[in-house]
Amino acid sequence: MPHTLIRGGTVVGPTGSTLADVLVDGEQVAALLRPGDTSLGADLAATAERVIDATGKYVIPGAVDCHTHMELPFGGTNASDTFETGTRAAAWGGTTTIVDFAVQRTGERVQDGLAAWHAKADGRCAIDYGFHQILGGVDDDSLKAMDELVTEGITSFKLFMAYPGVFYSDDGQILRAMQKARDNGSVIMMHAENGIAIDVLVREALDRGDTAPYFHGTSRPWETEEEATHRAIMLARLTGAPLYVVHMSAKQAVATLAQARDEGWNVFGETCPQYLYLSLEEQLAARSEEWGDFEGAKWVCSTPLRSRAEGHQDELWRYLRTGDLSVVSTDHCPFCMKEQKELGRGDFSKIPNGIGGVEHRLDLLYQGVVDGRITRERWVELCCTTPARMFGLDGRKGVLAPGADADVVVYDPAGRTSIGYGKTHHMNMDHSAWEGFEVAGHVDVVMSRGRVVVEDGMYHGSPGHGRFLRRGLSAYLR
């Protein structure tokens, strides 16, 4: 197999940074060579067929986005990125692994939902991919299916306390799925919002004539997130199952999670760039010539954006530092304004929920390093290492170490990236949630299993290079 040497960079990992060359042999990392190294690897490095100069740059593991929704059917339409377009966009942004959510719709067999997801992704992905399984209905059959899926490398299951009539599970169903997860070693991922209460608040808002996108957020107040988070934690405590709360946005909900962690419970939280940077106030103020005050629809997602005046964003950054938030993923769920978001003009409850961002997470989180909110090591831990360990990919993804897959990003801290401007992104969307964001840092080179897929602003990937990942159990089980 050909050897590639990534030379002269600073290798950044979760526990430290060091000057080292990275030797890649075929699809895997062969060695990290410190200056002066005289091992066998150094001999191989001297004869490497290909050398990538990383002088002055960071060399980090390819990023792992463990929360995406390619082609998700939602609100009468489908998320606009296919596995082909979405994984290509991910690669552009330095993400070399996604874990997407296969969907069991209510009334459907879990295995059929999963098979449909394999059919969508197979042969189309530019980068490696795994699946979580959404359970749209917990019953005897789906509980049995959970055991079967674990043996097929699907070791995490998402449940919804929101969206009654669509994905919703009641407390008894949640409890039973958690008991099963405790027994088979899988992780329960929770969409924690009190959907029953929210449906009442939504109805009231619409009856008042509050139909603009902003009222999506105000009808899902923080109390509905905190209450559901608390309930999910209590149900997890009852069963002993590990719990991972997805897309957290309310500081009160994370405070509740942090308290449970302080008490020793095996519960984890994830947030997303949109909750760190964007706010309800900006959504209220959003206007455009084309869309008027419907412009705010581009930021309709659940959980919703939160008030900056209430200080949620700063608190989320703080929880990223304390470790109470373990992972940043994108919840990439893109919908175009035209014909998709537009479905909810005049009725915010009909706007398909979701923001596209699979391409931008690494750059956006790097701003946290530039702004002094997190260290560069924590940046790598949040975007690469912990998501891989959390979801059973440790050793293969999220680290640069001998034997790991050669998923590597050369990141230029002196570069700059303009996000969104003039549709310069690669996601299949007619707008950007990040229009106008100018950030420090730049993804220079991206390697996926030893193959350079992005270099010098050129794309060299191809559909089908990405393989399905049979994931193991979480490294955070106990």
Question: In the bound complex, which residue of the shown chain has the CB atom lying closest to Zn ion?
Answer: 191
Least Cβ distance, residue 88 to ligand URP (angstroms) = 20
| Residue 389 binding target from Zn ion, ligand URP, none, CB below 5 to 8 Å by type | none
Least Cβ distance, residue 358 to ligand URP (angstroms) = 12
| Residue 301 binding target from Zn ion, ligand URP, none, CB below 5 to 8 Å by type | ligand URP
**CB-nearer residue toward ligand URP: 79 or 110:** 79
| Residue 362 binding target from Zn ion, ligand URP, none, CB below 5 to 8 Å by type | none
**CB-nearer residue toward ligand URP: 20 or 305:** 305
1 in contact with Zn ion (CB under 5 A): yes
| Residue 25 binding target from ligand URP, Zn ion, none, CB below 5 to 8 Å by type | Zn ion
Of 84, 227, 331, 363, the one binding Zn ion (CB under 5 A) is: 331
Least Cβ distance, residue 213 to ligand URP (angstroms) = 13
**CB-nearer residue toward ligand URP: 93 or 304:** 304
Binding interface with ligand URP (CB under 6 A): 69, 191, 247, 301-302, 331, 333, 353-354
225 in contact with Zn ion (CB under 5 A): no
**Cβ neighbours for 359, distance < 8 A, ≥ 6 positions apart:** 89, 90, 92, 93, 95, 425, 426, 427
**CB-nearer residue toward ligand URP: 61 or 75:** 75
Q: Which residue has the tokens 């619409």?
A: 206
Rule CB under 5 A: which of 4-33 touch Zn ion? 25
Least Cβ distance, residue 271 to ligand URP (angstroms) = 12
Least Cβ distance, residue 223 to ligand URP (angstroms) = 19
Least Cβ distance, residue 272 to ligand URP (angstroms) = 8
- What x/- string results for residues 185 through 224 when contact with Zn ion is judged by CB under 5 A? ------x---------------------------------
| Residue 249 binding target from ligand URP, Zn ion, none, CB below 5 to 8 Å by type | none
- Contact footprint for Zn ion (CB under 5 A): 1, 25, 191, 331
